[in-house]
Amino acid sequence: MPEIRVLAKETIDLIAAGEVIERPSSVVKELVENAIDAGATAITIEIKDGGMELIRVTDNGCGIEKSQVPLAFCSHATSKIRTAADLDDIFTLGFRGEALSSIAAVARVEMITKTGDALLGTRYVIEGAKEVSLEEIGAPNGTTFLVRQLFFHTPARRKFLKTPQTETGYIHTLLQHMALSHPDIAFQFLSHGQTKLYTSGNDSAEEIIYHLYGKEIASSLIPVHAVSGSMKLTGFIGKPIVTRGNRNYENYFVNGRYVKSDLIAKGIEDAYRTYLMQHQYPFTVLSFTVDGHDVDVNVHPQKLELRFSKSEELYRFLSESIRDSLQKTELIPEVPFGKEALAETQKPEAVAPLHDELSKLDRSDASAPEQLSHTEPFEEARLLRLKELIRAQIAEDSPYEPKYDQRDAKTFVPQQKQEQPSFEQQTLPFFTEETKQQYRILGQAFATYWLVEMGEELFLIDQHAAHEKVIFERLMKRKEEKEPLCQQIAPPMVLSLSTAEEETLKRYREDFTHLGYEIDHFGGSEYRITAIPADIYGLNERQLFLEMLDDLTENERLRDTDALYLKIATMSCKAAIKGNMAISTEEFQALFDEMLTLDNPYHCPHGRPTTIRMSRADLERKFKRVL
Identify the CATH number of the domain defined by range 428-627. Answer: 3.30.1540.20
Check whether the bond before 301 is cis (ω within 30° of 0): no
Identify the CATH number of the domain defined by range 205-327. Answer: 3.30.230.10
Mean pLDDT for 538-563 is 73
Q: Give the helix ranges, DSSP H, for 415-537.
A: 463-481, 499-515
CATH of 9-194, one of 3.40.120.10, 3.10.129.10, 3.40.50.1820, 3.30.565.10: 3.30.565.10
Is residue 63 pLDDT above 60, yes or no? yes
Give the pLDDT confidence score for residue 565 in this predicted structure: 81
- pTM for the full model? 0.71
- Kindly report, residue by residue over 377-411, the tens digit of the pLDDT: 445 555 565 555 555 555 555 444 444 343 343 44
| DSSP for residue 86 | G
How many whole angstroms separate alpha carbon 61 and alpha carbon 144? 10
Is residue 375 pLDDT above 50, yes or no? no
Higher pLDDT, 366 or 21: 21
Give the pLDDT confidence score for residue 403 in this predicted structure: 42
How many whole angstroms separate alpha carbon 268 and alpha carbon 491? 45
The identity of residue 375, as a single letter, is: T
Is residue 451 pLDDT above 90, yes or no? yes
Q: SS3 for 299? A: coil
Tell me the CA distances in angstroms from 523 to 317, 510, 519, 520, 526, one per residue in order.
Answer: 45, 20, 12, 9, 6
Strands (E), 81-141: 108-114, 121-127, 130-137
Burial category of 310 from C-beta neighbours within 10 Å (exposed 0-12, middle 13-18, buried 19 and up): middle
How many whole angstroms separate alpha carbon 534 and alpha carbon 619? 43
Contacts of 259 (CB under 8 A, 6+ apart): 252, 253, 303, 304, 305, 306
